[in-house]
Amino acid sequence: MRLRSGRRQKADDRPEAPATTPGLAVELHGVRRRYGRGAGAVHALAGIDLALARGTFTAVMGPSGSGKSTFLQCAAGLDRPSAGSVRLGGTEITGMGENQLTELRRSRLGFVFQAFNLLPSLTVEQNVLLPMRLAGRRQDRRRAQAVLARVGLADKA
């Protein structure tokens, strides 16, 4: 798996995880994810340390089976790491319960799924606005348009 910069994330020779830094959107420290047990265990993530600044875009690239989806799911609180810690906006999420994680994702996280996970009966704009509606917040159509424009989907709204 590679990040936008092209640096490969390896489990060996990792420095000590830094303390939480202001301005970071996502921090992973020693994140590991194993599926199964014994000889048949799959080690999808092996000690990922990463910090991503707020307001940035990052591409995660790699061949099929390299751990990209597992990495993103652990970073977003959609899957739990087997070891390590994950912080979103300075909030430690590794030990949160499902209800807390659902609230955090709904109020503070945007995620574009590989399979889209959109409601086909809604427009693109309505799909973007849906989390605001579910959270009981005002649906800001201008912000939705700006977000869609930023990712090249303004013409789809």
Distance CA 31, CA 7 (A): 17
Alpha-helical regions (H) of 109-155: 124-134, 141-150
Tokens read off for 128: 């973007």
Tokens read off for 107: 């109020």
CA 81 to chain centre: 13
- Does the pTM surpass 0.75? The reply is no
Topology (CATH) of 2-107:
Rossmann fold (3.40.50)
Q: What is the pLDDT of residues 85-118, one digit of tens each?
A: 999 999 999 999 999 998 888 888 877 766 777 7
Q: What are phi and psi of 131, to 5 degrees?
A: -60, -35
Query: What residue segments make up the domains of the chain, in order of their start?
Result: 2-107, 118-157
Distance CA 82, CA 33 (A): 5
Query: What is the model's pLDDT at position 7?
Result: 41
DSSP H or E run through 70: helix 68-75
Q: What is the pLDDT of residues 1-56, one digit of tens each?
A: 655 544 444 444 433 444 555 689 999 999 999 999 999 999 999 999 999 999 88
Crossing angle of helices 141-150 and 124-134, rounded to 10°: 130
29 contacts: CB under 8 Å, gap ≥ 6? 17, 49, 84, 85, 86
